[in-house]
Amino acid sequence: MWSEVPIELLKPHSKNGEYFSRPSPEKYYEEIKRSIATEGIRDSLKVTPDYTAIAGHLRLEIAKELGFEKVPVQIVDGDPEYLEYLLIADNEERRYCDDPIKKAKRAEFLKRYWGVRQGDDRRSKEKNSPLKTLDDVAREVGEDVINFKKLLKLNDLIPKLQHLVSQGKLGTTATYQKIRRFHPQA
């Protein structure tokens, strides 16, 4: 069930920018904006009880640009880790983000959230849910397992190098080669 709330009550989740970029090309953003201007927001934003957006950051940004006073929301609640998972899962389905560093951060979070470990690839017993594997996490972020393992290594780069990779000034292939040269066991 959803309700409408004043737009000024809503705030973005602090991790949204860490995991997802603004849509590219700009044409995609403009198509969504045109749709919202014409039809309104057809799918409510998911927000926490304190009105932190979990899903719908882009719709919220566009609604503000268009001068909407209220937007439809669905309240979701849970522990912070679960809400962060929802942020990733919902946006992974809706948005394409080709920034390898942000993708690596999403992958690392999902791996931790699902309790996937390198060795036995099983979820820890204290979490009572289906077993997940590296294949599951790789599939969720759109990679095969070999590329997925390389992707995770991007999280080990210093922030300056991560920034260069995000900007496309340092390719992932060159980065993987440098990581292997300085850390042969990687």
Per residue in 15-51, pLDDT (tens digit) is 998 998 877 767 788 988 999 999 999 999 999 999 9
- 69 with 124, same domain: the answer is no
Mean pLDDT for each consecutive 10-residue tract of the chain (186 residues)? 91 92 79 93 95 94 96 96 92 74 92 78 48 88 88 90 87 68 61
Please give the tally of structural domains in the chain: 2
Tell me the C-alpha distance between 179 and 138, whole Å.
20
Q: Tell me the pairing of strands 3-6 and 70-75.
A: antiparallel
Q: Check residue 92 and give its pLDDT.
A: 77
- 2 with 58, same domain: the answer is yes
Burial of residue 149 (CB within 10 Å: 0-12, 13-18, 19+) is middle
- 140 with 89, same domain: the answer is no
Within 8 A by CB and 6+ apart from 87, the residues are 13, 15, 16, 19, 54, 55
Q: Check residue 73 and give its pLDDT.
A: 97
Q: What is the mean pLDDT of the chain?
A: 85
Alpha carbon of 133 to those of 115, 144, 165: distances in Å?
9, 12, 27
Q: Which amino acid is at 171?
A: G
Q: Check residue 131 and give its pLDDT.
A: 81
- 67 with 153, same domain: the answer is no
Q: Is the pTM of this model over 0.85?
A: no
Range of the domain at 127: 98-186
- 112 with 53, same domain: the answer is no
